[in-house]
A and B are shown apart, each in its own frame.
Chain A
Amino acid sequence: MPYLGSEEVVKELRRALSNPNVQADRLRYKNYITKVIRYMTQGLDVSALFMDMVKASATVDIVQKKLVYLYMCTYASDKPDLALLAINTLRKDCADPNPMVRGLALRNMCNFRMPGMTEYIEQPIVAGLRDKASYVRRVAVLGCAKMHSLQPNTEIDGTIVNELYALLRDPDPVVVVNCLRALEEILKDEGGVVINKPIAHHLLNRMKDLDSWAQSEVLTFLLRYRPRSDDELFDILSLLDAFLLSSHAHVAVATLRLFLHLASAHPTVQADALLRTSAPLLATCGAASRELRFAGLCHVQQVMRSQPGLFGTHYKRFFCGYSEPSYIKFRKMEILVELVNDENVALVLEELRSYCTDVSPELAQAAIAAIGRIARTYSEKCLDILTGLLGLKQDHITSAVIQTFRDLVWFCPQSTAAVCQTVGACVDSPQDSEGKQALLWLLGEHGDQISSAPYVMEGYIDGLKTELSSAVKMELLTAAVKMFLCRPAETQDMLGRLLHYCIEEESDVCVRDRALLYYRLLQRGVEETRKVVTGPKSDPSMSVLTGRQEEPISEWDSTFNTLGPLAGCDLCPQTAATSAADQPSYDAEEEISLSLGPPLSHETFEKMWLDLETLHRQTLGFPRPRAAPDTLQAALQLVKIQTLAFTPGDTVPWKAYIYTRSTETLILAELLQGDQQAPGSDESLVVSVKQQPVNHMLLNLFFFFFALYDISLLTSTCMLQ
């Protein structure tokens, strides 16, 4: 922050920026502009300099231009009236001969987040979509999405949507994927960009040209496509195969997700894909970046829900490095617990034992809990380790061990005797309330097997006045009542004192009520109390015997590679909603495929053509095919478009009338070349479309066909046949 107050600074800067001497010295002038941006970055409000900065945008220095643009974008929404003054400069730059300048100006103009921008940016964007430099087209395509986000509730501009669908065949890969991104944004209320068969196949064929970001996103978009037949499915899978082993982790997992989704009806294919990706997944778990390593571990955990054995032989990969952050160690321990078997149990336990003395208490406790989980299968070995840990006499370790004992006894009743022996010999009592509760539960539940139990409990009852935790008091009440039932002589006196204290002196209502409940219960007699307090329980040991169930892949593949599993919860409930909203798009896509249908008579066509409004007119950017009329006709039939009539030979202007349908809708179109009234059409075809009834989705599809299969190409294939 500057020493001067912000007002002084702004005044100072304004004086400098408007000083003709400074303006004349380009370097000095630029230094002042840099200063403005620096203050802006530091959070100082320099919006008062807007006018001076607008003036500074008229420069040939491209870095200065960028700085001024950055400034304008930051303050445009605060100063909409002043921002309008900048627009002329920007629009002029949008027509600059240098594509770099055109792109920059267009990008920044679209970043002005203020109402009323649409009318100024629409024309430059549309021009940008047709720019010969791909740099500008990239910017223009995303500009369409920005324009839509300025006025999200206005009607979708069909022309722009059509242009974007057509640009999916752009030679520049970034333009292609930007189109998908933009369409997704613009059409989000209608379920996003439509991925039908031609689009899906087109994208699959372009995959290898895309950079890794684009690949990852295209793979996610393709989740929306459902192949029509198994043949098509397997063609797609074999195209995707190489990407399963992509060197970019995010591409490999995105491919795996798509694989699992597409092959949902072919469990063997899914299993094979999981097997093949296990190596790259393991590699990510050892990635240099710890966040990617973390993401990799989360992916492994999800995969293990269905294929618990997949990583069994690689258990050493999940040993923790000394300097790894806790969030990685936690996940690794969770995985290790799942991978334990007869052969590796000794090594895994030795490893986990070494984490129990970690400097981080949370980590140490997690390691102890992990050993407790393994103890459900390998009780003896684990009990030795856990008992040994009590000897360290560290509060947090003792507490965690006792909590682990409690859970172990609950899940594995056969280990009760051993645990009780240890607890009986253990002198240290835990200091935290979770540990105390666990110990009290053990004393109450198995007091008959722990000879010192009443004396330990007496210590707690004597220290009641200093006990702060209500949960501990509640547990103490329950434990004391249970102990009274099995060792009445030793317990009766202290139970009386406990109930008296809790009913007469305790301030917490819950504790008081619980004490009263036990008091009244005891008044009903010992046998009644025994029936209620030590009644039959469920037998959780069953679940240990039956083992973990392998879950179907469909349980988790919809959240695979999203934020949810990393944050440890289902972050976005809308995931479910999205996939539901996604469902109809398969059906919709079935509907909007084109079909030939019964032929139209010339009269019907003519009548409809005259009655209907032209819905859309577009220059296609390629000339009419120089092919014999019947070849052209055959070519169009390939893409399910019927031909009604042509101008013969090389007559200018050349015209053709074509039509196609899709269930309810009929599309009529006129192709025209060489019309003097339509400028620019002397080279390329102009297509005008009418529809009955209007269906924008279908129109998009129609244009996509036209754009994708350049008619000249089609005709040449037909001639070969």
Chain B
Amino acid sequence: AWSMSASAVFVLDLKGKVLICRNYKGDVDMSEIDHFFTLLVQQEEEGLLCPVMSHGNVHFLWIKHSNLYLVATTNKNSNASLVYAFLYKLVEVFTEYFKELEEESIQDNFVVVYELLDELMDFGFPQTTDSKILQEYITQQGNKLEVAKTKVPTTVTNAVSWRSEGIRYKKNEVFIDVIESINVLVNANGSVMSSDIVGSIKLKTMLSGMPELRLGLNDRMLFALTGRDKGKAVTMEDVKFHQCVRLSRFESDRTISFIPPDGESELMSYRINTHVKPLIWIESVIEKFSHSRVEIMVKAKGQFKKQSVANNVEIRVPVPSDADSPKFKTSTGHAKYVPEKNLVVWSIKSFPGGKEFLMRAHFGLPSVENHEMEGRPPITVKFEIPYFTVSGIQVRYMKIIEKSGYQALPWVRYITQSGGERRFA
């Protein structure tokens, strides 16, 4: 009763049909999975769905991803967060292999899926779960066995488990993306209910050999990171580094030093829980004239500095499900009605700071009114602002040292995105 041990792992389609199953332990009858879908449907009808379901002694821990259910069965009182983390690891690994994880990609690649399931877990215990390492010996082409070639990659047992030796690039470069996503919640009265910034530094490393990297951030950020900035406004919470970063080094002299994984990886992520005003401020007036029409007026204002531009702005305004015959007028961009989602999507290709735009929409309403209660979803805003971060984080330098002494170029980009929602009553 102590260990995690999943007894078996299943991948099901939306109708509950088993697409893939792997019986790791043999201590739970494989036909138990038939109860999973029955329970799921039953709980869904009662509105009491729960990520843990039990049938007798068997517990189902499940997640849903696109049109699939991933289910682990166990008859032990397992460590729940670990089982979910493992199921999400499966999603992550499969996604890296197939780009999209969905029914079709599982069907098309079931041989690789089985190969992966065999390496990811043995007897119900997670084994090799790093997709970078798995990719070295399980490929979609299927590798022919030639004794010299297919040996266990050194990374499986390497001291540096996230990077193999002997990587070669003609041109040595590393791309650093600083991405911040801001989440702001505004209530009907226009006051900010909650706001935070979720940031991440992503690397695309194309460097030969075993390079030693050192990342320098601006002092203000470093202070915020180490929490020594008690008096000032910004403190970072929930700072996570990739396992390659030497934490002891960071704690002693605030240096972020590491041997990077090859290719794309997330070096660090953080969250700043601070008061941020919405970068695109929305005001809306929605007037509903029963049995005849709905009139919507939305005003959007860019509350960021004039030199910056928000790209691919999308403002999604919910409308009643029985609305029809839409008419739009916009001061910029264009509006589109998406009836299957009961939305008007107002798209603006580029939205300069300080500017203000308007959109008016007119809908007809049927004379026989829909009496069903409808939820009141929020207006949501999506955008991207390049060359700008809300927190003010800056990469000061990136030093790259490799024993062969090659010259390598670091490139830095900054992007702010929205993940926010605004709502109204």
Tell me the A residues contacting B by CB distance below 8 Å: 34, 37-38, 41, 43, 59-63, 65-67, 70, 97-101, 103, 107, 113, 133-135, 138-139, 142, 145-146, 149, 172, 174, 177-178, 181, 184, 192, 211-213, 216-217, 220-221, 223-224, 242, 247-250, 253-254, 279-280, 282-284, 286, 289-292, 294-296, 299, 316-317, 319, 321-322, 325-327, 347, 350-351, 354, 357-363, 394, 561-564, 566-568, 571-572, 574-575, 578
State how many angstroms separate the Cβ of A570 from the closest Cβ of chain B: 9
Supposing A41-B20, A43-B18 touch, asked if A142 and B122 sit within 8 A by C-beta, the answer is yes
What would 16 A/B residue contacts be, using CB atoms closer than 8 Å?
A59-B145, A60-B144, A61-B142, A63-B111, A98-B145, A101-B145, A172-B157, A217-B3, A292-B81, A292-B85, A299-B81, A319-B185, A326-B49, A359-B373, A363-B47, A571-B59
Q: Which residue of B lies closest to A316 (CB)?
A: B194
Q: Decide: B63 and A247 in contact? CB cutoff 8 A.
A: no
List chain B residues, Cβ under 8 A from A107.
118, 122
> Which chain B residues in 97-142 approach chain A with CB under 8 Å?
110-111, 114-115, 118, 122-123, 125-129, 137, 142
Q: Decide: B150 and A62 in contact? CB cutoff 8 A.
A: yes
Q: Decide: B147 and A561 in contact? CB cutoff 8 A.
A: no
Tell me the B residues contacting A by CB distance below 8 Å: 1-5, 18-21, 25-27, 46-54, 59, 61, 63, 76-82, 84-88, 110-111, 114-115, 118, 122-123, 125-129, 137, 142-147, 150-152, 156-157, 161, 185, 187, 193-194, 237-238, 240-241, 247, 271, 373-378, 421, 423, 425
List chain B residues, Cβ under 8 A from A292.
81, 84-85, 88
Q: Which residue of B lies closest to A330 (CB)?
A: B48
Q: Decide: B111 and A37 in contact? CB cutoff 8 A.
A: yes
State how many angstroms separate the Cβ of A54 from the closest Cβ of chain B: 18
Within the complex, which residue of A103, A347, A358, A362 is in contact with B375, where a contact is CB–CB below 8 Å? A358
Complex alpha-carbon distance, A566 and B122, angstroms: 26
Q: Decide: A250 and B85 in contact? CB cutoff 8 A.
A: yes
Q: Decide: B19 and A41 in contact? CB cutoff 8 A.
A: yes
Q: Decide: A357 and B376 in contact? CB cutoff 8 A.
A: yes
Q: Decide: B156 and A134 in contact? CB cutoff 8 A.
A: yes
Q: Decide: B127 and A174 in contact? CB cutoff 8 A.
A: yes
State how many angstroms separate the Cβ of B10 from the closest Cβ of chain A: 11
List chain A residues, Cβ under 8 A from B2.
184, 192, 217, 220-221, 223-224, 578
List chain B residues, Cβ under 8 A from A250.
79, 81-82, 85
Within the complex, which residue of B25, B59, B125, B238 is in contact with A563, where a contact is CB–CB below 8 Å? B59
Within the complex, which residue of A70, A286, A291, A326 is in contact with B84, where a contact is CB–CB below 8 Å? A291
Supposing A63-B143, A211-B129, A359-B374 touch, asked if A322 and B156 sit within 8 A by C-beta, the answer is no
Q: Decide: B77 and A564 in contact? CB cutoff 8 A.
A: yes
Q: Decide: A361 and B47 in contact? CB cutoff 8 A.
A: yes
Complex alpha-carbon distance, A380 and B374, angstroms: 29
Q: Decide: A113 and B26 in contact? CB cutoff 8 A.
A: yes
Q: Decide: B114 and A327 in contact? CB cutoff 8 A.
A: no
Supposing A327-B49, A566-B51, A571-B54 touch, asked if A134 and B185 sit within 8 A by C-beta, the answer is no
State how many angstroms separate the Cβ of A249 from the closest Cβ of chain B: 5
List chain B residues, Cβ under 8 A from A172.
157
List chain A residues, Cβ under 8 A from B114.
37, 66-67, 70
Q: Decide: A283 and B142 in contact? CB cutoff 8 A.
A: no
State how many angstroms separate the Cβ of A552 from the closest Cβ of chain B: 22
List chain B residues, Cβ under 8 A from A63.
111, 115, 142-143
Q: Decide: A34 and B111 in contact? CB cutoff 8 A.
A: yes
Q: Decide: A362 and B47 in contact? CB cutoff 8 A.
A: yes
State how many angstroms separate the Cβ of B44 from the closest Cβ of chain A: 10
Supposing A37-B114, A561-B80 touch, asked if A213 and B4 sit within 8 A by C-beta, the answer is yes
For the complex with contacts A249-B81, A561-B79, 7 further pairs of A-B residues with Cβ separation under 8 Å are A149-B27, A220-B3, A250-B79, A322-B375, A322-B377, A363-B47, A566-B52
List chain B residues, Cβ under 8 A from A572.
1, 76-77
Q: Decide: A322 and B421 in contact? CB cutoff 8 A.
A: yes
Complex alpha-carbon distance, A612 and B277, angstroms: 82
Q: Decide: B373 and A357 in contact? CB cutoff 8 A.
A: yes
Q: Which residue of B lies closest to A136 (CB)?
A: B152
Within the complex, which residue of B59, B76, B123, B145 is in contact with A145, where a contact is CB–CB below 8 Å? B123
State how many angstroms separate the Cβ of B396 from the closest Cβ of chain A: 24
Complex alpha-carbon distance, A357 and B373, angstroms: 8
Supposing A61-B145, A134-B156, A142-B122 touch, asked if A327 and B50 sit within 8 A by C-beta, the answer is yes
Q: Decide: A213 and B147 in contact? CB cutoff 8 A.
A: no
State how many angstroms separate the Cβ of A275 from the closest Cβ of chain B: 14
List chain B residues, Cβ under 8 A from A567.
50, 52-54, 59
Q: What is the interface of chain A mostly: helix, strand, loop, or mixed?
A: helix
Q: Decide: B238 and A280 in contact? CB cutoff 8 A.
A: yes
Complex alpha-carbon distance, A465 and B120, angstroms: 64
Complex alpha-carbon distance, A223 and B1, angstroms: 12
Q: Which residue of B lies closest to A252 (CB)?
A: B81
Q: Decide: B129 and A291 in contact? CB cutoff 8 A.
A: no
Q: Decide: B194 and A319 in contact? CB cutoff 8 A.
A: yes
Q: Decide: A100 and B85 in contact? CB cutoff 8 A.
A: no
State how many angstroms separate the Cβ of B202 from the closest Cβ of chain A: 15
Complex alpha-carbon distance, A138 and B374, angstroms: 56
Within the complex, which residue of B19, B125, B240, B373 is in contact with A178, where a contact is CB–CB below 8 Å? B125
Q: Decide: B77 and A350 in contact? CB cutoff 8 A.
A: no
List chain B residues, Cβ under 8 A from A361.
47
Complex alpha-carbon distance, A223 and B3, angstroms: 12
Within the complex, which residue of A99, A216, A322, A571 is in contact with B79, where a contact is CB–CB below 8 Å? A216
State how many angstroms separate the Cβ of B192 from the closest Cβ of chain A: 10
Supposing A217-B3, A291-B63, A563-B77 touch, asked if A66 and B110 sit within 8 A by C-beta, the answer is no
Q: Which residue of A lies closest to B46 (CB)?
A: A362
The 6 closest A-B pairs by CB, nearest first: A247-B240, A362-B47, A572-B77, A283-B238, A213-B126, A250-B81
Q: Decide: A98 and B123 in contact? CB cutoff 8 A.
A: no
Q: Decide: A350 and B123 in contact? CB cutoff 8 A.
A: no
Q: Decide: B4 and A216 in contact? CB cutoff 8 A.
A: yes
Q: Decide: B77 and A135 in contact? CB cutoff 8 A.
A: no
List chain A residues, Cβ under 8 A from B145.
59-62, 65, 98, 101
List chain B residues, Cβ under 8 A from A99.
151-152
List chain B residues, Cβ under 8 A from A242.
247
Q: Decide: B48 and A326 in contact? CB cutoff 8 A.
A: yes
Within the complex, which residue of A134, A217, A319 is in contact with B4, where a contact is CB–CB below 8 Å? A217
State how many angstroms separate the Cβ of B119 from the closest Cβ of chain A: 10
Complex alpha-carbon distance, A99 and B153, angstroms: 10
Q: Decide: A574 and B81 in contact? CB cutoff 8 A.
A: no
List chain B residues, Cβ under 8 A from A294.
51
State how many angstroms separate the Cβ of A109 from the closest Cβ of chain B: 13
Q: Decide: A100 and B151 in contact? CB cutoff 8 A.
A: yes
Q: Decide: B374 and A563 in contact? CB cutoff 8 A.
A: no
Supposing A216-B82, A250-B79, A562-B79 touch, asked if A181 and B157 sit within 8 A by C-beta, the answer is no
Q: Decide: B375 and A289 in contact? CB cutoff 8 A.
A: no
List chain A residues, Cβ under 8 A from B238.
279-280, 282-283
State how many angstroms separate the Cβ of B418 from the closest Cβ of chain A: 15
Within the complex, which residue of B47, B125, B237, B421 is in contact with A181, where a contact is CB–CB below 8 Å? B125
List chain B residues, Cβ under 8 A from A67.
111, 114
Within the complex, which residue of B81, B125, B157, B425 is in contact with A561, where a contact is CB–CB below 8 Å? B81
Complex alpha-carbon distance, A350 and B126, angstroms: 45
State how many angstroms separate the Cβ of B208 from the closest Cβ of chain A: 26
List chain B residues, Cβ under 8 A from A291.
51, 61, 63, 84, 87-88
Complex alpha-carbon distance, A429 and B11, angstroms: 48
Supposing A145-B123, A358-B375, A578-B1 touch, asked if A562 and B80 sit within 8 A by C-beta, the answer is yes
Complex alpha-carbon distance, A628 and B86, angstroms: 52
Complex alpha-carbon distance, A216 and B78, angstroms: 11
Q: Decide: A103 and B85 in contact? CB cutoff 8 A.
A: no
Complex alpha-carbon distance, A111 and B237, angstroms: 45
Complex alpha-carbon distance, A177 and B377, angstroms: 48
Complex alpha-carbon distance, A493 and B373, angstroms: 41
Q: Decide: B373 and A326 in contact? CB cutoff 8 A.
A: no
Supposing A216-B82, A564-B77, A566-B51 touch, asked if A66 and B123 sit within 8 A by C-beta, the answer is no
Complex alpha-carbon distance, A242 and B84, angstroms: 23
Supposing A99-B151, A571-B54, A574-B77 touch, asked if A149 and B143 sit within 8 A by C-beta, the answer is no
